[in-house]
Structure 1
Amino acid sequence: MLNTAQNFEKAFDRFDFFDENFKTYLATHVCEDGSVAGTLECDDWVNVRNVIKFLERFYELTVKASGSHYVTSNVHFEDICELDAHLKACVATEDLSLSNMAERMREKFRKYWGDPEKMNKMIFISSVLDPRNKFVYVSFALEELFGEEVGKKVSEGVYDYMKSLFGEYLKNYSRASHHQLYPSVSTSSHDTSDVTSSSGSSSSVKSNALRTKLHLKKQKED
Structure 2
Amino acid sequence: MNNQFGKITTLERVLEYFHDGMTIMFGGFGGVGSPPTLIEGILKKGIRNLTLIGNDTGFPHIGIGKLVSQERAAKVIASHIGSNPFAGKFMQEGKLEVEFSPQGILMERIRAGGVGIPAILSDIGVDNEIVAKNKPVYTLNGKKYLVEAALTAEVSIVYAKKADEYGNLIYDKSARNTNPLVAMAGDITIAEVGEIVPLGRLNPEEIVTPGVFVDHVIPSKGGDWKWAWE
Scaled by the length of structure 1, the TM-score of the pair is 0.28
User: Higher helix proportion, which one?
Assistant: 1
Scaled by the length of structure 2, the TM-score of the pair is 0.27
Structure with max Cα Rg = 1
